């Protein structure tokens, strides 16, 4: 998949962008391990929204995962996304000793993903 094609979520509606992708569309684009994490965060966001009557946490969660889905699509799908993760890990491992390192999960959490 090309970078241009990644601007459109699954389903083929070229009038829409990832910014409008539904939770189901986002989840369907994710790697299985990411989908599991999405499920946990999505359910937590829904529960918090139910308790607080504030949908902001739901919108924030969905927006963060839309970015992950778009990166996954832009990388060519699940295999490309995993290759991108591996390349990032290799680059991190190549850093000089003493340089602060963070796991992929920590980086994503720091970015709000």
Total domains, the chain: 1
Task: Decide if 26 is inside a domain.
Answer: yes
Task: Decide if 95 is inside a domain.
Answer: yes
| Domain extent for 63 | 21-110
pLDDT of residue 13: 54
Show the tokens assigned to 36.
């599991």
Is residue 38 a contact partner of residue 30, using CB atoms and an 8 Å limit?
yes
Which DSSP letter does residue 96 get? P
pLDDT at 100 over 50: yes
Is residue 34 a contact partner of residue 68, using CB atoms and an 8 Å limit?
yes
Q: Mean of the pLDDT values across residues 23-37?
A: 96
CA distances from 64 to 38, 67, 107, 109 (A): 10, 5, 13, 10
pLDDT band at 92 (very low <50, low <70, confident <90, very high): confident
Task: Decide if 84 is inside a domain.
Answer: yes
pLDDT of residue 2: 43
Task: Decide if 87 is inside a domain.
Answer: yes
Task: Decide if 12 is inside a domain.
Answer: no
Task: Decide if 42 is inside a domain.
Answer: yes
């Amino acid at each position: 998949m090309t970078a241009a094609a990644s601007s459109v979520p699954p389903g083929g509606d070229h009038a829409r962008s990832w910014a409008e992708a539904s939770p189901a569309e986002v989840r369907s684009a994710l790697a299985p391990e990411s989908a599991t994490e999405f499920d946990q965060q999505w359910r937590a966001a829904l529960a918090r929204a139910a308790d607080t009557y504030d949908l902001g946490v739901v919108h924030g969660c969905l927006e963060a995962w839309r970015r992950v889905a778009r990166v996954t699509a832009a990388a060519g799908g699940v295999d490309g996304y995993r290759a991108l993760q591996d390349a990032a890990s290799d680059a991190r491992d190549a850093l000089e000793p003493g340089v602060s390192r963070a796991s992929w999960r920590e980086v994503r959490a720091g970015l709000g993903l």
